Amino acid sequence: MEKIFSGSYVAIVTPFNPDLSVNFDKLTELVEWHIAEGTDGIVACGTTGEVSTLKDDEQLAVIAHVVKTVNKRLPVIAGAGSNETPHSLYLSLEAEKRGADGLLLITPYYNKTNEEGLYRHFATVAEKVHIPVILYNVPGRTGMNIPFNVLKRLAHFKNIVAIKEASGNMDYVLKIAKDIPELAILSGNDSQVLPVLSLGGAGVISVAANVFPKAMAAMCAEYAKGNTREATRLQVLYANLIESLFIEVNPIPVKEAMNLLGWNVGGYRLPLYPMSEKNREVLMEELKGVGLVKSH
């Protein structure tokens, strides 16, 4: 399968009503905004979408709603990973039924596994679904890295087409680019979009694109056109804001930023909790610093 995922994919937040039910009207509004701003694709129900606090029926309803709203104008990737393989397979098959264009599958968290177990975890899903799969490597959250030899075996599956790489290990990224060129590399860290692109990466699955989608899409597009100076300017310009979007655990700051910008995406489900006033002030200053909020 060719490299079909490239550019800026937003890991879209899940907006909530005051009673913490999913706000589907607001979700529609966000999807339409991303399409207008030039976002290349939407990832529904990832970490940023608070998938860990959604029940299965809510998760699948969010995926179905995004698919219906997008209506084939952009690719929609469904977060369908779990630390239990049968559960991940169930979510993947159900997301496929609801029209998702691809799947984002995380490594098992908490229980983790050995190398063969990890291979079989992903292989079980890849063998049963008919849509592309993006593997998600984020050891900072899961406590588990995808060993390179396991990744190489998994790349033999025709529908395992990409990896969202959030380990921050550039040597690992370079090794993938060199030895598994058929696998598209998507940065999982907004602070490392340019470094990953420079090693042959295809784009980013971005938290920050919830806040400045047009600039994140432009960063990827300018690099692809060979305009590395402009792409670098954008990475540097937004560096401090990106840092502040991770001043507390994601997605607390990004939802706070969106609310400060007037999007009214609602609060969080526990254990996530609103950020401290001190950190909110830092975030507001960085939003002002790039002109998203006007300074008085």
CA distances from 77 to 3, 87, 216, 290 (A): 14, 18, 18, 29
Whether 109 sits among the annotated catalytic residues: the reply is no
- Could you say which of 9, 26, 119, 164 is catalytic? 164
- Could you say which of 9, 119, 136, 238 is catalytic? 136
**Residue 208 · residue 10 · CB < 8 Å:** no
Cα–Cα distance measured from residue 240 to residue 189, given in angstroms and rounded to the nearest whole number: 14
Beta bridge partners of 103: 78, 133
Residues 6+ away with beta carbon under 8 Å from 239: 191
**Residue 92 · residue 124 · CB < 8 Å:** no
- At 84, phi and psi to the nearest 5? -120, 120
Cα–Cα distance measured from residue 130 to residue 93, given in angstroms and rounded to the nearest whole number: 9
Whether 72 sits among the annotated catalytic residues: the reply is no
What are the tokens at 191?
A: 């602070």
The catalytic residues are: 136, 164
